[in-house]
Copies of this chain bind each other. A is one copy, B any other.
């Protein structure tokens, strides 16, 4: 269902429609797993709401290539699965020991640690299943590239590496380089992959892939800076997770290292640059341009 994007672009309607599609695809992605408890634990976290920013970016990037974004829906789901599994594992008592996520008790609080670990493992593998076995109509070489991309961002060179560095940095004074390493790996890598994988599914050429990578790197870092700012300025109620947690854990954050004003300025500058780089495709870039603005203007 590739759509001709008309100006003025109604971003609110676009977002609502994309979210509905994604929620429905997420719901359909979990089969009748045995035992029940495993299925329930997987559903509990995958269908817990959230902004669905990553799958939306994936679909929007696929649309930018001129391809039917329906081809990217399984990949979009896969990306949200990887994101969800990383949240489940990061929240565990042996890691960030978090009780609240998206306004509800964390997975291990409801199902216990063993099931939470295993539900995460199952979501991670189901992500690869979505790409390899549940993406009809997409050329196999493109799917294999997506598998490769996801295997990098979900593992040691991505999410896992970032989380380990993050755990090691707790309570230590870390410099801006280490902070950026953590954010690029924990947050930036998957946001970037969301865009890149959508573009790969759509068959983007090398120029477009490079432009979209640059765009995605910029919004990824901006996203994290805004996260750090919100941790200081927003309430737990609005965030749906424990606010002020970074301060309590004595974590290094952008506001701590640069100050609030400088952090806001850095985020704005990153968003401006990200929008610039996809401007040549502006006739189809409206969703990605609006998504960049959305990332910096969000309140949770």
Please list the residues of chain A having a beta carbon within 8 angstroms of any beta carbon in chain B. Answer: 31, 33-35, 37-39, 42, 85, 89, 92, 94-95, 112-115, 117-118, 120-122, 124-129, 131-133, 140-141, 143-145, 147-148, 150-152, 154-157, 159-161, 163-165, 167-168, 181
Contacts and interface: CB of A to CB of B under 8 A. Distances in A.
Contacts of A33: 156-157, 161
Contacts of A124: 121, 124-125, 155
A121 B88 CA distance: 12
Contact of A140 (B34, B42, B127, B140): B140
A128 B128 contact: yes
Copy number of this protein in the oligomer?
2
B121 A160 contact: yes
Contact of A34 (B121, B127, B155, B165): B165
Contacts of A131: 147
A133 B141 CA distance: 11
A158 to B, nearest CB: 8
Contacts of A92: 113-114, 117
Given A35-B164, A128-B147, 5 more contacts: A33-B157, A85-B121, A89-B117, A128-B151, A144-B144
Given A125-B160, A128-B128, A117 B114 contact: no
Contacts of A85: 121
Nearest to A92: B117
Nearest to A116: B94
Contact of A112 (B94, B125, B132, B140): B94
B121 A168 contact: no
Given A150-B128, A156-B126, A89 B144 contact: no
